C-alpha cells in the first residue's frame, strides 16, 4: 500500500469511530471493510468530524459494574451501619488477635509504640495543653474503627482480616477505651452502629465564615500598625530542623 | 531601619534618579553594590571563568539518549524534597516537603511536588486500574483508563495544600526553613475529566448528597466529599504538568478538589460511592478535624484559607549581597484568586504592596516580588495575602486567639523571617 493510500485508510477508520457510540461496536467491523474498499476502489474517505463537547450526555464509555465486583470493593461502613458485613466478635477474642497483629505498633493496650498512634486513654484531655486524641477520647463514631481497620490494617498487610476478626478487634479496641465494658459482649452488624462514643457530640460544622469574619477586612492597616515587634521565639532555639547535609543522596 | 524598603515602583525611581546624577550618582550607588565598589578600588583581575577554556567548552557533552527522561543539572542536587523524620512513625505513612525556597514562577516541577502517603506509593499498572462508580446511581459503572481518556478533557492549574501545612508552627517557631514550614503545597497543571462528566455516565439519583472517594493503595484512603463540590469544579486527573501523574502523586488516577485540603485529593482513585450522608472515615474524624481550645472540634473544614510565604530570603536562602535584592514568595487562596499581596520588612508595622507577576488564576498559587535595597540592617520580613472575597491573611496571634493552639490544621498565619545584619535568616515568632 502506498503512503497516501495508508493515510486514506486511516482516515476511513477514524471517520467510522466518530459515529454515535451506540453503533460503534457494529460499525467497527464495517470500518475494517471500509479499509478494504479504499484499497480496492480508491474511494475518497470522509475526514473525521469533531464532536461538540457534550453538556450532559451519555458518552457510551464504561460498562455496568457486576454485583460481585461491587461486593468486592464496597467495604465502607457508615455511622448508621450501612455497609457493615455479617459477622461477630468479642473483646476477649480480639485481645489475642490484637497482641498478634497490632501490638507491635500500638502496644498491648493501645498505648502506642514510638510514634505509632495511641488508641486508648486521653479522656478529659481535649481542653488540655497537650490533648490525647484517641479512639476513646476523640473519635465520634464506633463504625469508623471498623471502616478503618477493614481498609488499612494491619499496617503492611491490609485486607487480610476476616469480617469476624474485624468485629473482634473493634470490640477489643472499644473495650480498652471502656466504651464496651464486658469482655464477652458480642459486637455484630446489628449493634456496632448503636455504640455511643464518648466524644460523639464534640463536633460542629465549619463556622469560619462567621467565627472568623474579622479576617474579611477591606482596609488592612498599611502604616504604623502597632508598636515595634519583639522576637519571642526562635526555631533555631528549638533545634529540630533536619540538617541540610543530612538529606538523601541524589546522583 | 536606615533604609526604608521600597516597592518596585519606588525602587525603580531611585535607580533612575541615581543614573541621572552621572558619576557622582554611580559612586553613591556603589555603596549599595559592594562587589562593584570593591572591584573599583583594586586592580581588576581577569576572571578565570572567562579567561580559561572550560571542559564543557572543549569536550563533547552527553549525546541525546543519555537522559531520555531528563533530570535536573547535577549542580541542583540540593533542590530536593526533604522529610522531617521525627514527625511520623514510618516513611510509608509520612510526608516530605516541596523545596519552595529554591523555586520560582508558579508551577512546581512534578518531581518536587511534596508527597504524603498513608500506606506507601502504590505502583499500579494502568492496564489493571479500574474506576468504579456505584451507590445512589441509575447504573453502577466500571471504567478503564482507556475509557476515561476517551472522555472530553480539561486542563486546570490548581494548588494542592495539605491542611497540616504549617501545623508544626501552631505553638511557635519550630522549623527553620520555608521548605519545612510551608512546603506541603504544590501547584501544577492537571489534565483529566470533570467528575461531573463521570457522574453523568452513571446517573446520580435525586437523593444523593455525598460521595465517598477511595484509593487503591494499601491504606485504602477514603474520604467523603459533598456532591455540590463534586459537580462544581472537581476533576479526576491522569496527568500533571503535561506528563502522566507520578506514582507518588497518584498514578494513574487521582482526585483534584480545587481549593480544598489535600487529604481529599484521593490518589490512586479506584472507587466513588454515591450516598446521602458523610461516612465519617478515620481521615475526617480522628484527623482533619480542628480541635478548638474549648475541647470541641470543627469538622468538614475543607477550604484552605488565603495564605502566603516569602520563599526568598528565607532560612535556606539567606541574603548574600548588600544593595539590590529580590524578595519573592507565593500566595494562594482556596476561595478564589489572590487579589493582592502586601510585604512588611519591619515585622508588620508598615506594609508595601508587592508586585504579582505571572498568571493570576482561580485557586492557584501566584508569585510576588519586591525589589529592594539592603544596607545590612535587621529585617523582619512578612507577607500578607488578600483574596477576591476580601479575606486578609491573619497574624498567628489573631488565629490563636480564636482557635487556641491545639488545632493542628489550617495554620495560615503570617510568617516572620528575621534577617540578621550578616544576611543569616531565621524563623521567628514576634509579638
Q: What's the whole-number mean pLDDT along residues B326-341?
A: 98
Residue of A158, A229, A235 lying closest to B173 (CB–CB): A235
Whether the pLDDT of residue B18 is over 60: the answer is no
Question: CA B16 to CA B20: how far, in whole Å?
Answer: 6
Contacts of B78 in chain A (CB under 8 A): 244, 247
Q: Do B298 and A206 touch (CB under 8 A)?
A: yes
Q: What is the pLDDT of residue B85?
A: 87
For residue B233, what are the CA distances in angstroms to B200, B241, B245? 14, 19, 19
Q: pLDDT higher for A29 or B269?
A: B269
If contacts are CB pairs under 8 Å, which of residues 64-83 in chain B contact chain A?
A: 74, 77-78, 80, 82-83
- Model-level pTM? 0.87
Q: What is the pLDDT of residue B2?
A: 40
Question: CA B71 to CA B56: how far, in whole Å?
Answer: 18
Strand partners, B342: B353, B384
Q: What's the whole-number mean pLDDT along residues B108-118?
A: 97
Positions in chain A whose pLDDT score sits under 70: 1-44, 52-56, 244-251
Q: What is the pLDDT of residue A26?
A: 40
Q: Do B175 and A211 touch (CB under 8 A)?
A: no
Contacts of A148 in chain B (CB under 8 A): 281-282
Instruction: Give the range among A14-28, B131-145, B187-201, B372-386 with minimum mean pLDDT.
Output: A14-28
Whether the pLDDT of residue B338 is over 60: the answer is yes
Residue of A54, A80, A234 lying closest to B152 (CB–CB): A54
Q: What is the pLDDT of residue B37?
A: 47
Task: Please name the residue ranges forming H helices in B271-411.
Answer: 282-285, 396-403
User: What is the Cα B87 distance to its own chain's centre?
Assistant: 20
Question: CA B426 to CA B419: how far, in whole Å?
Answer: 7
DSSP A99: H
Instruction: Give the range among A212-226, B31-45, B142-156 with minimum mean pLDDT.
Output: B31-45
Q: Do B296 and A64 touch (CB under 8 A)?
A: no
- With an 8 Å Cβ cutoff, is A95 touching chain B? no
**Reduced to 3 states, what is the DSSP secondary structure of residue B249?**
helix
DSSP A223: S
DSSP B142: E
Question: CA B44 to CA B62: how far, in whole Å?
Answer: 36
Q: What is the pLDDT of residue A46?
A: 77
For residue B99, what are the CA distances in angstroms to A7, B11, B32, B71, B426? 48, 29, 30, 16, 16
Contacts of B269 in chain A (CB under 8 A): none
Question: CA B114 to CA B263: how far, in whole Å?
Answer: 13
Q: What is the pLDDT of residue A239?
A: 87
In chain B, what percentage of residues exceed pLDDT 70?
A: 90
Instruction: Give the range among A30-44, B68-82, B231-245, B351-365 with minimum mean pLDDT.
Output: A30-44
Q: pLDDT tens, B366-401? A: 999 999 999 999 999 999 999 999 999 999 999 999
| Burial class of residue A208 in the structure, from the number of CB atoms within 10 Å of its CB (0-12 exposed, 13-18 middle, 19+ buried) | middle
User: Maximum Cα–Cα distance for chain B, whole Å?
Assistant: 84
Residue B151: phi, psi to the nearest 5?
A: -90, 160
Residue of A119, A231, A243 to mutate for B, most B C-beta atoms under 10 A: A231
Q: Do B298 and A203 touch (CB under 8 A)?
A: yes
Rounded to the nearest angstrom, the minimum Cα separation between B17 and chain A is: 25
Q: pLDDT higher for B6 or B145?
A: B145
**Reduced to 3 states, what is the DSSP secondary structure of residue B229?**
helix
DSSP B259: T
Amino acid at each position: 500500500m502506498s503512503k497516501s493510500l495508508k493515510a486514506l485508510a486511516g482516515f476511513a477508520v477514524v471517520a467510522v469511530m466518530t459515529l454515535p457510540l451506540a453503533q460503534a461496536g457494529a460499525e467497527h467491523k464495517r470500518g475494517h471493510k471500509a479499509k478494504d474498499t479504499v484499497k480496492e476502489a480508491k474511494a475518497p474517505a470522509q475526514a473525521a468530524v469533531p464532536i461538540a463537547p457534550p453538556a450532559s450526555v451519555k458518552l457510551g464509555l464504561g460498562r455496568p459494574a457486576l454485583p460481585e465486583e461491587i461486593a468486592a470493593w464496597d467495604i465502607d461502613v457508615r455511622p448508621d451501619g450501612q455497609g457493615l458485613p455479617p459477622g461477630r466478635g468479642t473483646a476477649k477474642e480480639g485481645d489475642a488477635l490484637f497482641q498478634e497483629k497490632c501490638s507491635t505498633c500500638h502496644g498491648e493496650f493501645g498505648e502506642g509504640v514510638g510514634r505509632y498512634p495511641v488508641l486508648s486513654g486521653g479522656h478529659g484531655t481535649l481542653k488540655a495543653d497537650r490533648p490525647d486524641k484517641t479512639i476513646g477520647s476523640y473519635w465520634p463514631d464506633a463504625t469508623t474503627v471498623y471502616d478503618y481497620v477493614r481498609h488499612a490494617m494491619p499496617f503492611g498487610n491490609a485486607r487480610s482480616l476476616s469480617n469476624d476478626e474485624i468485629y473482634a478487634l473493634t470490640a477489643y479496641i472499644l473495650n480498652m477505651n471502656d466504651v464496651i465494658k464486658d469482655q464477652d459482649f458480642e459486637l455484630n452488624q446489628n449493634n456496632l452502629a448503636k455504640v455511643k462514643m464518648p466524644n460523639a457530640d464534640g463536633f460542629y460544622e465549619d463556622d469560619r465564615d462567621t467565627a472568623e469574619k474579622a479576617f474579611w477586612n477591606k482596609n488592612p492597616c498599611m502604616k504604623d500598625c502597632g508598636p515595634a515587634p519583639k522576637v519571642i521565639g526562635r526555631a533555631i532555639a528549638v533545634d529540630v530542623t533536619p540538617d541540610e547535609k543530612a538529606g538523601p543522596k541524589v546522583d | 531601619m536606615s533604609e526604608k524598603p521600597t516597592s518596585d515602583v519606588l525602587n525603580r525611581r531611585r535607580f533612575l534618579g541615581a543614573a541621572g546624577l552621572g558619576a557622582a550618582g554611580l559612586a553613591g550607588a556603589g555603596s549599595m553594590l559592594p562587589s562593584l565598589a570593591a572591584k573599583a578600588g583594586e586592580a581588576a583581575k581577569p576572571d578565570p571563568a572567562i579567561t580559561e577554556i572550560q571542559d564543557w567548552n572543549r569536550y563533547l557533552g552527553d549525546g541525546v539518549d543519555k537522559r531520555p527522561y531528563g533530570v535536573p543539572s547535577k549542580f541542583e542536587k540540593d533542590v530536593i524534597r526533604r522529610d522531617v523524620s521525627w514527625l511520623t512513625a514510618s516513611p510509608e505513612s509520612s510526608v516530605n516537603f516541596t523545596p519552595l525556597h529554591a523555586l520560582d514562577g508558579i508551577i512546581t516541577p512534578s518531581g518536587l511536588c511534596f508527597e504524603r502517603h498513608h500506606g506507601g506509593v502504590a505502583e499500579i499498572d494502568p492496564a489493571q486500574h479500574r474506576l468504579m462508580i456505584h451507590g445512589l446511581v441509575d447504573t453502577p459503572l466500571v471504567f478503564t483508563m482507556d475509557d476515561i481518556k476517551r472522555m472530553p478533557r480539561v486542563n486546570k492549574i490548581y494548588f494542592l495544600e495539605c491542611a497540616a501545612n504549617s501545623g508544626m508552627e501552631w505553638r511557635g517557631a519550630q522549623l527553620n526553613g520555608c521548605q519545612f514550614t510551608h512546603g506541603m503545597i504544590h501547584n501544577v497543571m492537571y489534565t483529566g475529566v470533570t467528575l461531573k462528566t463521570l457522574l453523568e455516565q452513571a446517573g446520580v439519583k435525586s437523593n444523593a448528597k455525598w460521595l465517598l472517594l477511595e484509593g487503591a493503595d494499601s491504606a485504602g484512603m477514603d474520604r467523603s466529599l459533598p456532591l455540590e463540590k463534586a459537580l462544581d469544579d472537581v476533576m479526576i486527573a491522569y496527568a500533571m504538568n503535561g506528563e502522566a501523574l507520578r506514582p507518588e502523586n497518584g498514578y494513574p488516577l487521582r482526585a483534584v478538589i480545587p481549593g480544598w485540603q489535600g487529604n481529599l485529593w484521593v490518589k490512586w482513585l479506584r472507587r466513588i460511592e454515591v450516598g446521602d450522608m458523610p461516612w465519617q472515615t478515620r481521615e475526617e474524624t480522628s484527623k482533619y478535624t480542628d480541635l478548638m481550645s474549648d475541647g470541641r472540634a470543627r469538622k468538614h473544614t475543607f477550604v484552605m484559607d488565603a495564605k502566603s510565604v516569602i520563599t526568598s530570603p528565607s532560612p535556606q536562602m539567606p541574603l548574600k549581597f548588600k544593595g539590590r535584592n529580590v524578595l519573592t514568595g507565593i500566595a494562594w487562596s482556596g476561595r478564589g484568586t489572590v487579589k493582592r499581596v502586601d510585604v512588611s520588612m519591619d515585622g508588620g508595622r508598615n506594609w508595601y504592596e508587592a508586585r504579582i507577576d505571572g498568571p493570576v488564576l482561580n485557586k492557584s498559587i501566584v508569585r510576588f516580588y519586591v525589589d529592594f535595597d539592603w544596607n545590612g540592617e535587621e529585617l523582619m520580613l512578612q507577607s500578607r495575602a488578600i483574596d477576591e472575597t476580601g479575606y486578609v491573611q491573619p497574624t498567628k496571634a489573631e488565629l490563636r486567639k480564636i482557635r487556641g493552639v491545639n488545632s493542628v490544621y489550617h495554620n495560615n498565619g503570617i510568617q516572620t523571617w528575621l534577617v540578621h545584619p550578616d544576611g543569616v535568616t531565621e524563623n521567628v515568632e514576634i509579638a
